[in-house]
Amino acid sequence: MPSGHTLTPDIISRLNNLSLKARFVVEGFIVGLHKSPYHGFSVEFSEHRAYGAGDEIRHVDWKLWGKTDRFFIKQFEEETNLKSYLLIDQSLSMTYKSNNVTKLEYAQILAASLGYLMLKQQDAVGLTLFDDRIRVNIPARSKRSHLNIILSKMQNIKPGPETTIAPILHKTAEAIKKRGLIVLISDLFDDPDEILSGLQHFRYKGHEVVVFHVLDPQELSLDFTQRTRFRDMESGEEIITDPWHIQSDYQKSMEQFCNYFKSMCRQKNIDYVQLSTDSPLDMALSEYLIKRKRMR
């Protein structure tokens, strides 16, 4: 696998634009793979057979003809290009950061890298940006130029008010007609059971689903050393407390929160991946490629 230092979000976030970030992440990731778990072709070569009446000339293997002086046809296992849909939570809670990278910036880099990798494999990619409603919805396309459209929308994200995930998931599940891969990137700060209901809607429609649960390190640990004012970024509600008083109970609650999603997603055959904004992106890309390989 590639070195984690290469793909550290803090380093990547310093690059000029999202396109450069995505390219840096994906190319570095691919170079670091010892054995690629995927094939970057829409058809996979299978075997040869003798040329027969009615076969198209364009399928003749001319290199093999040069060696054998006989005509052979390349046989292929046809495969429909995968359609993938990136769903990004752009609500205000995603703008939190305790280091140099907000959850939203991490989600942008992750989604851009996934889009770059998907189109590199000739798959179609769509994009949905949402907070309490759908703000951007771009249908899935497989043209390389489509990436520029997607990255442009990601680059210009304007964080919305509150998070309302479940209705977005249900609406999107009804709108997408062709089965594909759904990738949700969110901190999941909403009603867990409602979110899971929305994710199950995709499964009911025949989609495969991957959830990237993006959290800031401090959201997991509450590792503050002095009396702190905490403010809900969406509701504005505030509380002042000494974190060490509540740290233990808080950590247990967060652990239960994440484990609940992990357990329920497993039951519903949904891939769940927890990511911290200081964790390298290669793990997320690996999860995607493993998922894609299983789908094939």
Rounded Cα distance, 195 and 253, in Å? 18
pLDDT digits (tens, 9 = 90+) for 233-283: 677 788 777 777 778 888 899 999 999 999 999 999 999 999 999 988 888
Q: Residue 36: pLDDT band by 50, 70, 90 thresholds?
A: very low
Flag whether pLDDT at 31 surpasses 70: yes
Predicted pLDDT at 274: 96
Percent of the chain with pLDDT strictly greater than 70? 85
Burial of 274 from C-beta contacts in 10 A (0-12 / 13-18 / 19+): middle
SS (H, E, C) 246-270: HHHHHHHHHHHHHHHHHHHHHHCCC
Rounded Cα distance, 88 and 30, in Å? 24
Range 9-35+80-295: architecture per CATH: 3-Layer(aba) Sandwich (3.40)
Q: Residue 4: pLDDT band by 50, 70, 90 thresholds?
A: very low
188 conformational bin, left if phi > 0, alpha if psi -120 to 50, beta if neither: left
How far, CA to CA in Å, does 142 sit from each of 23, 113, 121, 145, 197? 17, 15, 9, 9, 29
pTM value? 0.79
Flag whether pLDDT at 2 surpasses 60: no
Residues of the chain with CATH 3.40.50.410: 9-35+80-295
pLDDT digits (tens, 9 = 90+) for 71-122: 767 654 344 478 999 999 999 999 999 988 999 999 999 999 999 999 888 8
Predicted pLDDT at 233: 67
- Span between the terminal Cα atoms of the chain, in Å: 22
